């Protein structure tokens, strides 16, 4: 993707951001406290865009840093890396649209008998196939705006799992 006037600087930053493999999680480059936007890729296909830090202001982020607790991007990406569907829409989408269609009848039967954990298959898919890139933003509002641009196709394609229709 080449940069032009129609592409905002944060969008360009996401397009050219380093891609980290989920199988390497946790990734030291991800800040422990940050609002931001992230994109998830399968090779060159944009799979998902998300944001973290909804409602966060610079003062809230500074307070979270002072508390020494993780907040924002780190927690969101850690949740995605876990593969657990409970409370994680990305993992639900991966399960329903990427993993489930590839399961055999025997695997589906084993899941229904609790002999095979679906979340384990979701985690395996994420770790085997997907990479993420991210940018920090100064606020949750900025992250939300950039996320909306990406969902609308600002990277030259809409995300497979969560496009704006």
Tens digit of pLDDT for each residue in 57-80? 999 999 999 999 899 999 999 999
Q: Cα separation of 59 and 20, whole Å?
A: 29
pLDDT at 4: 46
Beta strands per DSSP E along the chain: 20-21, 33-42, 45-52, 71-72, 131-137
Bin 139: left if φ > 0, else alpha if -120 < ψ < 50, else beta. Answer: beta
Three-state DSSP at 101 gives helix
Q: How far, in whole angstroms, is CA 67 from its chain's centroid?
A: 25
Instruction: Record the pTM.
Output: 0.93
């Amino acid at each position: 993707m080449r940069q032009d006037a129609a592409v905002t600087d944060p969008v360009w930053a996401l397009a050219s951001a380093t891609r980290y493999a989920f199988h390497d999680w946790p990734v030291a480059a991800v800040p422990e406290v940050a609002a931001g936007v992230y994109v998830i890729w399968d090779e060159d296909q944009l799979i998902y865009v998300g944001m973290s830090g909804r409602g966060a202001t610079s003062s809230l982020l500074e307070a979270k840093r002072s508390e020494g607790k993780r907040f924002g991007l780190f927690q969101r990406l850690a949740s995605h890396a876990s593969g657990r569907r409970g409370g994680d829409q990305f993992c639900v989408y991966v399960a329903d649209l990427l993993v489930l269609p590839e399961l055999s009848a025997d695997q589906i039967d084993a899941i229904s008998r609790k002999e095979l954990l679906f979340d384990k298959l979701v985690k395996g898919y994420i770790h085997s196939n997907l990479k993420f890139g991210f940018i920090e933003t100064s606020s949750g509002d900025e992250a939300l705006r950039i996320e909306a641009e990406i969902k609308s196709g600002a990277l030259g394609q809409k995300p497979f799992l969560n496009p704006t229709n």
